[in-house]
Amino acid sequence: MDYKNKVILAPMVRIGTLPTRLLALKYGADIVYTEEIIDRKILNTERIENKVLGTIDYVSSDSTLVFRTNSREKQQLVFQMGTANAQTALNAAKKIEQDVSAIDINMGCPKEFSIKGGMGAALLKKPETIKEILTTLVKNVAVPVTCKIRLLPEIEDSLLLVKMIEGTGVAAIAIHGRLTEERPRHPNRNETIKTLAQHLTIPVIANGGSLEIQCYEDIAKFREATGSSSVMVARAAQWNTSIFRPEGILPVKEVVKEYLKLAINVDNDFPNTKYCILSLLHADMDQQEGLATQAAKSVEEICDIWGFADYLARAVESRKRNREQADHCHGIKRRKTEDGTSLVEMPVRFIKKDYGIGESPKQRVYLWTQKQPKKKASYDTVERTEDRCYKSVLTLDGVKYTATYWEKSKQLAEQAAAIVALAVIGEHDGRKPDSTSPNDEVLRAWREEFQMSDDISAIYRHKKVLFGSDAAKNRLERAMEEDDGNSSLLNGGKLDFDASNEKLSVVSS
């Protein structure tokens, strides 16, 4: 990645998510930075190719989306990492390097959460740690490495620091022209950045000039004032991302609409979408759209406010079709374990509010075994040491059942495994009748895609009773038609379906 003569979207917490980065690129930014993501946080994620959205997602064990990117931005994307340890930083960098074009280490964040962890601006007091982190990454990572710093009180100390950083082999250095304790109301020390730039051979990216940047032309003025190779824009882009347009800045409301389209396209979560829109509207919060957006409690409400209800509906329908094509089994897996035991895995969770007292899935499994004394149930629950999350495997009648997700407690993990088992053996899991759950689509897919296949085979072999939905009945009828329309499948019987309990059976004719 080339860092010379570039206009760059700065890393900003909660702002630098995928929709804002894509919007900045649309308006003319050359490079975009992610928000700072802590090394351990990215390490505790699973990399998922999201075929529905066309994105790469890094998702934590509790299903929280930590980082999302797509191919549109890859060649211009810098992943900013928070770290205080060279080896942990390297492990995280190796995990992410295939999906980004460069990695930046945050050495300038003055916020308490970062300082307390020995990250951000706290590193400015630990030059040896800085050297170790950067040297380790430069030697072992396949993409360019940079860092972003703040100034030290004495210019001589800042000069020693940037020269040491240059010596680690980084591709560029971003300099915010304020001290750690200074805030945006304090003037940016442009002359200090200029002095440091004159002593360096690597590109210097000047930052901290948002109060001086009111239009695109001001970016060039800031570059000249700081003697830098490139300019990194933060607050000016947060307040109006069209600051990157060489043709001129656009009205904020037009920018909001462009942002909202992108947020819908990549299924950005509602809290972040609302936060970014309110940031764009910071000067117009008292206008009708601003007040309504502040009060909005869902993405649907925001889309109604901005005239995007139909756009959202089309996007949701498109995602539904893509999801069906990408994974008609909704993540259900069935396989043999090393010891030859069958294992069924489903992406389901136990949501406590959906169950009454004494009506948990574990309780239902227990009651089932009481009615059938020969059927035994046992839970094998393990803890993942890095984040203290749990996963449980329930063995019931010689078959193993587990949920895809790692949970925050042993109880949640075991309840989820019980939900899987109950679905497979055809027992209700005790959920309240009027509740709806994210598990519904998964359980429906089990009945229609897996259980029905087993039941069709069973009809051929044993002419036994089976369970399924209307769709399952239709599949069986199609299978019968493929059997040349004769009655060999039913052995002279006929198909009977009771929709009230979803019971499908073969009865004598």
On whether the CB atoms of residues 76 and 422 are closer than 8 A, the answer is no
Residues 109, 276, 303, 389: which is the catalytic one?
Answer: 109
**Tokens (6 digits) for 194:** 């200029």
User: By three-state DSSP, how is residue 487 classified?
Assistant: coil
Would residue 389 show up in a list of annotated catalytic residues for this protein? no
Cα–Cα distance measured from residue 469 to residue 92, given in angstroms and rounded to the nearest whole number = 45
Return d(Cα 42, Cα 50) in angstroms, integer: 17
Torsion sign, CA atoms 83, 46, 389, 340 = negative
- Alpha-carbon span 463 to 508, nearest angstrom: 11
DSSP code of residue 63 = S
Q: Read out DSSP for 425-447?
A: HT----B-TT---THHHHHHHII
The residue assigned the tokens 């051979």 is 201
Q: What is the dihedral of CA 216, 2, 262, 209, to 10 degrees?
A: -40
What's the distance, Cα to Cα, between the start and end of the chain in Å? 75
Tokens matching residue 488:
């060999």
Query: Among 175, 179, 170, which residue's Cα sits nearest to residue 196?
Result: 175
Task: Cite the active site residues.
Answer: 109
